[in-house]
Structure 1
């Protein structure tokens, strides 16, 4: 009986020893981001440690660094979901066992808020494009520090709150919001390809339909 109990204890200790550790590196996160990150890490199953070292300059905003000798797929997906929940798109890199941090399946969790986000400036006036209903294309949308004013086909102006949050433009309407991803594609015009600031909506909304549009300004000069 004692022998069986001892084997059970040793087996449990072995499982515990094999459990990887998540090493968490963060830079320039806002207070709300840090609080959300800490809550999410506490909710996942792996032990974790915060590391007060700089994130390598060649790492993106969100990077998971995995040991190539042992990969925990389920746990990695959970950590990637944490990054996505904070508004980031994770990149996965691999390292060898020679890096002592990441032997035995340990995972590096790197998250940084870039200076680009901190210096974000929204164009003052854009137009709707790629709308699900054509009648709402080419509406004027004017942005101030706190508000986005949509001028509807009737001439009425609807004022909505907005903010730049975790790399996305978020416009609030009643009890929900529309989120936009920023890009700067070249737009074909009668005067050739011109640069733009384009904000592509990330989800379809049924009402109001004029929020089911992307936003764009094309620079002709």
Structure 2
């Protein structure tokens, strides 16, 4: 019994000692901007982590996302100053404790290059959806500047070239291609309607079956 009480006390102590974390999301920053950002982050007082996820489209070019259960004013001012030093005017948004990612004083730091939206930007991660054959739904598809990598049911990865051409996403396979239209519908989720980037196929291809799928990313927050 004493051991159980001691373990509980230790867990409470560790929980109390945990520092809030700043989660850094960035898009389209130049090398010099990234270097300047990294140098500035080292001067503020909270630990920070870079997160490789797309920034929700409804966010401004510079957004600080705070949990309204615990607002760290001094630390938030430090982060706002960093954004201003990079030439941005920060916006402050709030989320509830239900968003566990930002509970306990954690802060989201979202920064986009103001010119990043002038050109087409492909989301880095999507999932297949609305496939002609259900077995191909929910495959992971990752995008780099020139290539799309499909992770198949077997775990094998297939890398294909892609480009954005005349308003369509085009993925090349063998001697033909699959073409997708782009839309941004709201998607119903257990947490309400959320924005998305959706790429819908325009035609059927004979094979492979996983190219007869649309692709989508849903932005939860």
* TM-score bucket (shorter structure): 0.3 to 0.5
TM-score normalised according to structure 1 size: 0.47
Q: Which of these two proteins has the greater Rg computed from alpha carbons?
A: 1
